[in-house]
Each structure stands twice: as C-alpha cells, then as structure tokens.
Structure 1
Amino acid sequence: MYDDAADKSAGAILVTGARWVVAWDPDSGGHVYRTGADVVFEDGVLIHVGADYAGPPPARTIDASGCLVMPGLVDIHTHLFSEPMNKGMWDEVGSQRLYNTSLYEYLPILRPDAEGTRAAYGVALAELALSGVTTVCDLALPSDGWLDRLGASGLRVCIAPMFRSGRWLTRNGHSVEYEWDAAAGQRGLEQALAEIEAAQRHPSGRLSGMLCPAQVDTCTAELMRDAYAEAVRRDLRFHTHAAQSLSEFHEITRRTGMTPIEWLDDLGVLTERTIVGHGIFLDDHPWTHWHSPGSDMRRLAERGATVAHCPTVFARRGIALHHFGRYRQAGVNMGIGTDVYPHNMLDEMRLVAYLARVVAENPRDTRAADVFHAATVGGARALGRDDIGRLAPGCKADFVLVDCAHPAMRPCRDPVQSLIYSAGDRAVRQVFVGGREIVRDGRALTVDYAAAAAALEEAQGRALAQIRQLDWAGRGPDAIAPPTFPGL
C-alpha cells in the first residue's frame, strides 16, 4: 500500500528519457509536444520542463524511457460516494414518462449504507487515479471519515458538500414533486462551510472546497444567493446542477418564466466562479423550443462560467449536449467530469469527442486537443487555478507517465490520440500528485481496489433488498432493470 514517507526524498527529482512530454507553451497559451525534454521537480513543484537542465544534480531519477509525460487530468464533477454502486442497475434504465432521465424515479431508491459508501469511495478513487486523474471535485453528502479517506487517496480533492432547500420525488413515474424545508437548506449551507473549513485544515494539504447548492430546482432563490455570497466572501468556487433534465427546464420556466441558466444569471450567481453541472438544456437545445434561442449560450460565455460536461450518464439515456464544439466556439469554458461509473476519465474524454462529432454531424468539430484542454486547463480554470493541468515551472508536480510501448498505444504516431481513442487507462503506467507516486505499473498504491470492489458488491446486495420498499410502485430490482438475458 501507499507509503507517504517513501516519496519525501530531499532535493530535485529528475524524470528523464521520455519519448514525448506534453509541455505548456506560455507564448501560445496551450499544450505542445516536446521531444528530448526532461521534467524536474522539487518539494512537489515543477522547476524545469524541457531540454538542457542545468540545475543541481538530482537526488533521484525516474526513468520515463518510452513514455509520454503529460499533466494530470482535472475531473470537475463526480459523486464518489454513491455512483459506483449503481453499476448493473441503471445502465439501461430511464423514466420513459420523464424524458428518459433516471434522476427522479430511480436514483433515490438505491441507497448505500455506511459500509457501501466507504466501498464506493475506494472503487471510484482507484478508478480515477488509474485513468490519470490527479485533481477531482467530489459533489457529495458528508459521511463519517470522508475527509481522511480523500486525504489518504493521494489525490488532490476539492470537496463540494451538497445542500438544498427541498427534495424531489415522484409518486407516479410521470410527474415530479418537491417537498420543501427552507430551514434545512440553510443548515446544510452551514454544515458545508464547516466541512470546507475542515478540509482546508486537513494535514494532507491536498484538500480544498467549494460551495454546492445541489440542484437549481431544489434550492430557493434565497439559498442560492446566500451560498454565492459566502463563496465570494471566502473566495470559493460555486457549483450547481442546472439544465440537466428536460423536466427541470420545464419546472424552472414554469416557476419563474426564465430558463435555468437565465434564472441563475438573474440571481447574480452566474459568474466566472460558477460551474454549471451539465448545462445541456439551454434555450436553443433542439428539445426545448424556447423563445430566446442563443441567449443562454451568450450568458454562459459572457459571464465566464464553466460547464462541467459529463457525457456518459446522459448518453446511456439517449441524451446529449448540443454540442461540445458549439459551446467551445461560443467561448464557454468547458471542463469534464465523471458523473457516473466507471470513474474513468479517459473513457469520458473519448466519448466527449465522439458524441460531439455525431451531434454536430461534423468529424472536424471537436478534436483531441479540444478535449485534452478541457480535461486539464479547462478544469483548472474552473477551479481558479493556474498551477495544475499543465507542465510548466511553478506548477504542481501532478503528472502521468503513459507507456507508449503498450500494444494498445501502437502505432504511436500521435501519443495523445492513441491514448484517448485507443489505449485509455490500459497504458497509464505511473501517476504522481505533488511529486508523490499514487499509481505504479498500472496499480493503485493508495487504495485496495479489489477489496473495495468486493465490499461494494456486498453493499449493493443489501441496497437492492430495500428497493421494493422505496420504489413508488413497489417494484423489485429485476422488474425495474431486467437482466440482459433470462435465467440470471
């Protein structure tokens, strides 16, 4: 298992012999390939990226022969505490009378217990690290020991404890109701602030926080404004789910006469510190047919907000952003998240590109460079950071070694394309966060992935036994999500 003390060598550490390095070019403001380049770090910070290192002799050398060295990926939208348990249940399930979303009818009825939550964290954190993620945003419900669990992962984690003024539910599978408790929302905000303060004090030094009123349709205007005011006062980022379902779009327009994005703007909470989770159903999405097409996109771009794009969970239900390239071309900052199992950032990046081209009906609309930018500096910008998501002196030593000799990477004419479109996490050899190794030879050092997965399977069994009591129609798991073939 992970030995934190083993990575505290004094002096500079040289990463040498790389076949390629994805370095940051300040002149162009983008990533570039470098050959014949070394990466040197000291005390968790990069001090040299390029050829001709002339500093003091390194205290240690990391052999990167035959590898691509690239910046660690930045995942800006996850639910680590719950999503891993949903595997095998919601892969092909969506409410056909609620525009195929699974939010209201299904997600609330599969509930992890405390042990299940711990196992879910283990599985998700391992999958993130194995797919090259070094920074992740955890949109979660606080649980016992969660900060220590995140700290022990070796990852850089921005916690986002969710809170809301009410909960959604359906009693019939075709209409969404809301049960309101404004006081609970305010208490949730106070608890979130306390959790964030604890994260900032955590001895790992890698935890931070953001404020997350959970969903645009479950929070009052007062709670949204209060949370945003605290974000400004404490210099935190602000994250909420908005424009994530057609039912939510209709609900907000019914309540306010405005789209979800327009309402956030009207409240004064749509700014450069705001991350919009999903942001799919804008006023010009083909499914909304709203009267002001294009206004939402202009608001997102002009206010400097970020959209956290998580294609997998929606693609499973026949839903897609319209479309990644269009947002990028409009000037919207785009980041990428793993909203759902598997927490494999490289898989998510591949789907970003493919779905964008399908929806745009244009194979040139979104390229690997656009996706890689969103998964690195786009995510870093969303978090208000310029010291992650890129390899340049002064940045954190968060980097990934990709084995270019792996069969799935070959032919390796263009290593980033081979990684995204072909090899994925199979070629990730080593991952470092702050110069500390958390993945070696494709194995997570900080989490027992196999043990967590075994515990998660047992916890899912306990949760499945409760579904009939929680489902509005009293259905069992097989009635809701039939097995692929009969006889299971």
Structure 2
Amino acid sequence: MTITVIRDADVAVAWDASAGQHTYLTGADVAFDGGIITFVGRAYTGPLDEEIPGRGLMVMPGLVNIHSHPSSEPMNKGLIDEIGSPGLYNSSLYEYMPIFRADADAVPSCVRVALSELLLSGVTTVADLSMAHPGWLDLLAESGMRVCVAPMFRSARWFTKNGHVVEYEWDEAAGEKAMAEALNLIDRAKQHESGRLFGMVVPAQIDTCAEGLLRESSQEATARGLSWQIHAAQSVVEFHEITRRHGHTPIGWLDSMNLLNDRAIIGHGIFLDDHPSTPWHTNSDLGRLAETGTTVAHCPTVFARRGITMKNFGRYKRAGVNMGLGTDTYPHNMLDEMRLVGYLARTQATDPRAVTTTEIFDAATIGGAKALGRDDIGRLAAGCRADIVLVNAEHPMMRPGRDPMRSLVYAAGDRALRDVYVDGQLVVKDGMVLTMDYEGAAAHLHEAQKRILDRAPSQDWAHRPVEKISPPSFPWA
C-alpha cells in the first residue's frame, strides 16, 4: 500500500462526527493508505510515501449519485430536450424515449460517456439502473468508480398507440425470470475482482410490476441486506393508473404493502397526494415517506425539461424525508444537478430560504450514502473509503472564495475540479479521465445516434420522421 498525504490544503470539507455534519477545515492534511482514509486534520506527522501540495485546493468527499441510467440516456442528447407528450401530461416516458433506445453496439459508448461525465463532476459512487447487458460488470469496473449495480426487471412493458393512452403488455412469468437473473448478477457483482461493485434490487416501475414481484423483490433485498429502489410517483399518468387499479396513490400503495422502509428508495417521488397536478383525497404521502425512513432520489433536470418539478425539495427535507440526488439523464453532471436542486426549490417555494447549500451537499453525500446502506462513503473521515475530490480553489470562477462550496455549486461547477480518487486510485487528473476513452466513446456515440435515428420512425406509433418529432433548433440549410 502507498500512504498518500494531501498536505496543508486551503480547505477540506471534513466530517465532524461529534456534530454529525460536514465542516470547513482550513490548513487541512488528508492522509490515505491504499483505499482507506487514515487521517483528516492538521499537522499530520505519520509515515508517507507520496505528498501532494494542498495549497490552492479544496478537498471534499466524492459525491454519491443514487439514480442514473448510463446505458441509455446519453443517446438522447439533442433529441428529447424539448419534447413531451401533450396528451400524457408532457411526460416523454411512453411515446418518445422508447423510439430512441441505444442498440447493443452503442451501449458501451453510452456507459463510457456517462461515467466519464460523472467522474468529471466529482461523482465517485453511482447507482446504475439499467437493463442488464453483455459485459456490464467489467465495463463498470473499467471506469474505476464505485458502482451500485442495479439491474431493472418488470412484469410488463408500456406503450402507446395514439399518444394519449398508455397501455401495458403483461408477462408476469418473464418478470419473475428477470428478477432471478438480476439477483444472480448482483451476486456476481459483489464477487467482482475490482472490489468496488455492490448491488441494489430494482423493480423498474411501480406501474409495470405485479404486486407479487414487488413483495418478493423487497423480501430478497432485505434478506441480502441490500437497498431496494423503484420508480414511483414519477408521472401524472402513473399516479392515475395506480389510483385506478388500487384506490391508493403510488406512495400509499407501496406503504399498504409495507414496502417503505429505511432501505427503500423512491426514484423521483414527485407526484404525491398534495402535488398541484395530482390532488387526492388524502394528505399523507409526505408523512408516510418521513415516518418510514424512505429515501427520495431527486433528479430535477430530466423533469425540468418537461416543465415538471417537485414541490419542493426543501419541503421534503423539513418534513424529515431523507433526500438523495441522482443525475438520471444527460448530461451526467452532478454539480449541475445540485445547482438546479437549489434554484427549483426556491422558485417553487417562492422563498430563497427554501433550501440551503448545506442540505443540497448533504443529499449528494451522506443522504445518498445512507440510502445505499453505506457509512464509509460520502464523508472525509478516518476509516472511510478514500473517495476524494480535489477542487482548484484558485480557479477564477471560484473567486471570491468566501464560501468555496457555494462558489463551486453556483458558479464554477465541474470547471474547477482537478483530480478525483476512488479507493485511493487516481481516476481523474488535471480534469482528464484516466480510466476510459471519453472522447473516443463520444465520437462513437455520435455515429451510433445516426443509426438510431434512421430506425426511429419504424418504432413510432405514427411513423413520424425524426424532424417532426424533434425539430432542430434551426433549419439545416
């Protein structure tokens, strides 16, 4: 093992265990031995093999992204930025996203592009919610990231034949088989030689999973000591579908089955019984989430594109809900996502005090770590994994530097990130990804998208040309 010391950093976002919070520590030394942090404080006097001058640096824990779709979302860049089905409450889930899916040749490039973008924005742990694909585990390990492998499975697929009605094609046996395969993959991930992969049980969506599959998957997660995540309360269509089927809101139905707990994660959790778009006769969803210790994975960008937003992040926090963050969609930029969390919460509340930068950073670190059942990530403290981000505190966009975290989140963003370590291994150096060919993958994805666009009209219920579905910003002369 190599003992590395970051010496006399301008500031470290260190973990104060006695106060249970992050704190600014000036003149900080951070030491790590292999993959473990051994010291956070001032005036380190222990042994060392490598010393990194900390002057001009902010040292912070790696960010924890609990909801992302690396294998598909990069393909949608330039296609679904401004479209949503008007007959389906402006969601793009049912009519548009299925026709632009990456094919098998494009998936590895999607993953490499997404994970590179995540690393460059300071993410060291990511939950990859994808349908299983060949070589998935080795591809994730290649990135050098800590990855929660979250293979999705379901009992039905959704589709629309007209753009205003969503239908479901059910095959419960296939769902059970897919869950068994997902659990096997999770077991393999835990055994991967990289030592950085672990699992999560993910029935894909509340409206595409049979009740038995939901109950069984939750039981399997509990038996394995794993987190359990589901997309729920993510669209108005889904809200109405679940109330029609079960007489409960999506959150209420999950709670009625005792599926909400401190290892359960609701992907999105926007449309509660008191959301203006889905008012219901109850007023208990937010309280149910808080009382059961359930986490909400908040991903504002993908919904803001459709004019949709949570009402609001700060309100959930005040109610006692554990909040985590995810990128979900392109760009996979966690710092951009954090900035949007703050702006949308304050806009929706019409109150600049609706959410603080402290709460946002907590969600991106300890909130996500808690959701994944980890107390060894998301904080700079002795005994935690050496997942560390070095920020150029002297970058012009970080100045003035009175409050470096605010400068990072609201001004500099990923432009100020210099180096990233995962398990003590350098994976980003001077703003360049060392583990994957980001530029090559992006170039391959550019060509692959042309192929996907050629076939898109045949996947569309109305067989429309892509230019009609998603007109370009300007006409091509």
For the aligned pair, the TM-score class normalised by the smaller chain equals over 0.9
Distance in 2 of aligned mates of 1:246 and 1:50? 49
Cross-structure match for 1:5: none
2:356 to 367, 388, 394: 367
1:228 aligns to what? Answer: 218
User: Among residues 241, 245, 248, which one is paired with 1:255 in the alignment?
Assistant: 245
Q: Which residue of 2 aligns with 1:30?
A: 21
* Residue identity opposite 1:448 in structure 2: D
**Structure-to-structure mapping, 1:7-86, within 5 angstroms:** 10-55=1-46, 57-86=47-76
1:125 matched to 2:115? The reply is yes
1:410 to 2:399 alignment: yes
Whether 1:351 aligns to 2:335 is no
Asked if residue 185 in structure 1 is aligned to residue 175 in structure 2, the reply is yes
Residue 54 of structure 1 and its aligned partner are, at CA, apart by: 3.1
Alpha-carbon distance in structure 2 between the residues aligned to 1:81 and 1:187: 21
Letter in 2 for 1:471: D
Amino acid at match of 2:341: V
1:466 to 436, 447, 455: 455
What displacement does 1:96 show? Answer: 0.6
Which residue pairs with 1:428 in the alignment? Answer: 417
Number of equivalenced pairs: 477
Helix, strand or coil: the match of 2:27?
A: coil
1:7 alignment counterpart: none
In structure 2, the partner of 1:457 is: 446
| Aligned equivalent of 1:394 | 383
Amino acid at match of 2:11: W
**Helix, strand or coil for the counterpart of 2:105?**
helix
Q: Is the 8 A contact 1:429 1:440 kept in 2?
A: yes
Whole-angstrom CA distance in 1 between matches of 2:83 and 2:53: 46
The equivalent residue for 2:328 is 339
Distance 2:202 2:90 in 1: 25
Q: Secondary structure at the match of 1:168?
A: strand
What whole-Å deviation, never above 9, does each CA across 1:252-293 have from its counterpart, x for those lacking one?
000000000011111111111101000000001111110112
The partner residue of 1:315 within 275, 297, 304 is 304
**What is the TM-score of this pair, normalised by structure 1?**
0.97
Q: Which residue of 2 aligns with 1:329?
A: 318
Could you tell me how far 1:11 is from its partner in structure 2?
4.0
Residue 377 of structure 1: which of 366, 376, 379 is its match? 366
Report the AA paired with residue 66 of structure 1.
Answer: G
How far does residue 146 in structure 1 lie from its aligned partner after superposition?
1.0
Checking the alignment, whether the CA contact within 8 Å between 1:397 and 1:434 is kept in structure 2 is yes
The SS at the match of 1:18 is strand
- Alpha-carbon separation, structure 2, partners of 1:253 and 1:231: 26
- Counterpart CA distance in 2 for 1:12 and 1:314 is 44
- Whether the 8 Å contact between 1:12 and 1:59 is mirrored in structure 2 is yes
Note if 1:134 corresponds to 2:111. Answer: no
Q: 2:476 aligns with which of 475, 484, 487?
A: 487
Report the TM-score when normalising by structure 2: 0.99
Residues 279-298 of structure 1 aligned to structure 2 (within 5 Å):
279-293=269-283, 295-298=284-287
Give 1:14's aligned amino acid.
V
> 1:341 aligns to what SS in structure 2?
coil
Q: State the alpha-carbon separation in 2 of the partners of residues 261 and 292 from structure 1.
A: 11
Q: CA deviation at 1:405?
A: 1.1
Give CA deviations for 1:350-372 in whole Å, capped at 9, x if unaligned.
Answer: 00000000001000111111100
Q: Please state whether the residue corresponding to 1:459 is helix, strand or coil.
A: helix
Q: 1:105 aligns with which of 88, 95, 98?
A: 95
What SS class does the counterpart of residue 386 from structure 2 fall into?
A: coil
Question: 2:83 aligns to what?
Answer: 93
**Structure 1 CA distance for aligned equivalents of residues 302 and 210 of structure 2:** 26
The 2-side partners of 1:253 and 1:407 are apart by 52
Q: CA deviation at 1:411?
A: 1.3
- Taking the aligned partners of 1:62 and 1:382, their CA distance within structure 2 comes to 33
2:8–2:42 Cα contact (<8 Å) kept: no
Q: Is the 8 A contact 1:17 1:66 kept in 2?
A: no
- The whole-number CA distance in structure 2 between the counterparts of 1:32 and 1:404 is 16
- Partner in structure 1 of residue 190 of structure 2: 200
Name the aligned partner's letter for residue 22 of structure 1. V
2:331 and 2:101 map into 1 onto residues whose CA distance is 18
Pairwise CA distance, 1:112: 1.1
SS at match of 1:160: strand
SS of residue matched to 1:272: coil
SS of residue matched to 2:106 = helix
Corresponding residue for residue 239 of structure 1: 229
Give the match for residue 206 of structure 2: 216
Structure 1's unaligned 5+ residue stretches are: 1-9
Question: In structure 2, how many angstroms separate the alpha carbons of the residues matched to 1:64 and 1:159?
Answer: 34
SS at structure 1 position matched to 2:128: strand
- Deviation at 1:113? 1.4
- Answering whether residue 265 of structure 2 is matched by residue 275 of structure 1, we say yes
CA distance in 2, matches of 1:403, 1:487: 40
Write the distance in 2 (CA, Å) between the matches of 1:266 and 1:41: 46
1:171-219 deviations in Å (ceiling 9; x for gaps): 0000100000000100010010111011011000000001000000000
Partners of 1:283 and 1:292 within 8 A in 2: yes
> Which of the numbers 408, 413, 416 marks the counterpart of 1:419?
408
* Letter aligned with residue 25 of structure 2: R
In 1, the alpha carbon distance for the partners of 2:304 and 2:291 equals 28
Q: Distance in 2 between matches of 1:444 and 1:54?
A: 32
Q: Distance in 2 between matches of 1:97 and 1:64?
A: 55
- The alignment partner of 1:115 has SS state of coil
| Distance in 1 separating the partners of 2:19 and 2:274 | 32
Task: Return the letter of the residue paired with 1:233.
Answer: A
Separation in 1 of the partners of 2:53 and 2:422? 17
State, as a whole percentage, how many aligned pairs show the same letter: 59
CA contact (8 A) 1:16 1:63 kept: yes
The whole-number CA distance in structure 1 between the counterparts of 2:459 and 2:386 is 46
* Conserved 8 A contact 2:65-2:327: yes
**Structure 2: which 5+ residue stretches go unaligned?**
none
